[in-house]
Amino acid sequence: MQLPHQTVQTPVFMPVGTAGTVKAVSQDVLETLGAQIILGNTYHLYLRPGHELIRRMGGLHKFISWPRAMLTDSGGYQVFSLSKLRKVTDNGVSFRSHLDGSSHFFTPEHSMDVQMALGADIAMAFDECTEYPAEKSRAQESLRLTMAWARRSLDHHRANRHTVPWCEELGGQTQNLFGIVQGGTYRDLRRESAERLVEMEFDGYAIGGLSVGEPRELTMETIAEVLPLLPADKPRYLMGVGYPDEIEMYARMGVDMMDCVLPTRAARHGLLFTSEGRLNIKAKRYAEDQGPVDPECTCMVCQRYSRAYLRHLMQCGEALSGILNSIHNLAYYLGIMERVRKSLQPEG
Ligand SMILES: [Zn+2]
């Protein structure tokens, strides 16, 4: 996948950098781990420090000193999950900040303006993430809104995308915009959503609204239904998924990009993913365990530190605990994708 700041090898896992940082992991470590693209959350960056400030700093890449690729979400998901007193109309969403209660209004055009100011390599269309479970009529109405907002997002983005902070510097290259397939767990709605988005000709396509509490078989069925409808020569992105076995399975089904807070969030709670399964580093049985987290892992944490030490750091609430745990979990996730990529390469 050729992006303005990086040629990305797919399938790829994207660590989530909510507020301009992948929690507890510095940019130089992310580079060492082989992260090719990271995600930023528009809602959080819009509220703090503000997209206009980031534009003045030369865009998100410069502001956080990340030379490789970035993607921003549309802000929609967080508006719906975090903010208070939101009101949805055809025009957009009004909401109050979860930080200070201040009032804001997001339209598809405004989400595009914010994302262009942030200047990631990939921006996402403004959508409504349909909750699970949702009645068919509710999923239909939600999809109607998402499709209208996709059109408006695309029109506004196409007309203004030359304004991203680095467009001139990179010889006229500019930001990509992906459309998001919604439709809940209804196959006909998913199909309609995919077909209409493909007609609009986005730069890539995402499958949204999954891993929101539905059974895993339904997640798989929906992905299997939608993937063949999306053009194979454009990136296909599955949003917000999942556990290690899931990301491997979906990558093998043909998903090119995935993101999830799970490896870093779980790490901060002491849950580590290994080739032997999940491990809770807080457990007493690791108190004197001199072995590494995962004997098969080549990450900088497993090369140097014991389970006993990591358990001790967690017990004491040391800042280094979250750092080392997050590094290992990210290495594990990125390693899965690397293995899948290698296995997909033609022999010789
Ligand atoms: Zn490791």
Q: What is the pLDDT of residues 277-299, one digit of tens each?
A: 999 999 999 999 999 999 999 99
Among candidate residues 121, 127, 256, 259, the one labeled active-site is 259
Q: Specify whether 233 is catalytic.
A: no
pLDDT for the residue numbered 77: 87
What is the strand order of the sheet 93-96 is part of?
A: 84-88, 93-96, 103-106
In angstroms, the first-to-last Cα distance of the chain is 22
Poorest-pLDDT segment among 181-190, 310-319, 339-348: 339-348
pLDDT for the residue numbered 348: 53
Cα(30) to centroid of ligand 1, in Å?
Answer: 14
Q: Specify whether 100 is catalytic.
A: no
pLDDT at 253 over 60: yes
pLDDT for the residue numbered 274: 98
Cα(298) to centroid of ligand 1, in Å?
Answer: 6
Average pLDDT over residues 22-26: 98
pLDDT at 310 over 90: yes
When pLDDT is cut at 50, 70 and 90, the band that residue 175 belongs to is: very high
Among candidate residues 73, 113, 127, 256, the one labeled active-site is 73
CB atoms within 5 A of ion ligand 1 belong to: 297, 299, 301-302, 328
Average pLDDT over residues 128-146: 95
pLDDT for the residue numbered 190: 98
pLDDT at 302 over 80: yes
pLDDT at 256 over 60: yes
Q: What is the spatial distance between Cα 244 and Cα 235, in angstroms, rounded to a whole number?
A: 21
Torsion from C-alpha of 240, 178, 195, 148, nearest 10 degrees: 100
Residue carrying the six token digits 């907002």: 149
pLDDT at 347 over 80: no
Let me know the angle formed at the C-alpha of 91 by 85 and 92, rounded to the nearest 5 degrees.
Answer: 40
Cα(333) to centroid of ligand 1, in Å?
Answer: 10
Q: pTM of this prediction?
A: 0.97
- Mean of per-residue pLDDT scores for the chain: 96
pLDDT for the residue numbered 69: 98
Average pLDDT over residues 98-112: 95
Cα(335) to centroid of ligand 1, in Å?
Answer: 10
Q: Are 25 and 333 in contact (CB under 8 A)?
A: no
pLDDT for the residue numbered 82: 84
Average pLDDT over residues 60-74: 98
Cα(337) to centroid of ligand 1, in Å?
Answer: 15
Q: Whose CA is closest to 81, among 104, 102, 98?
A: 98
Cα(138) to centroid of ligand 1, in Å?
Answer: 44
When pLDDT is cut at 50, 70 and 90, the band that residue 7 belongs to is: very high
Query: How many CA atoms are closer than 13 Å to the CA of 243, on its beta-carbon side?
Result: 11
Average pLDDT over residues 249-255: 97
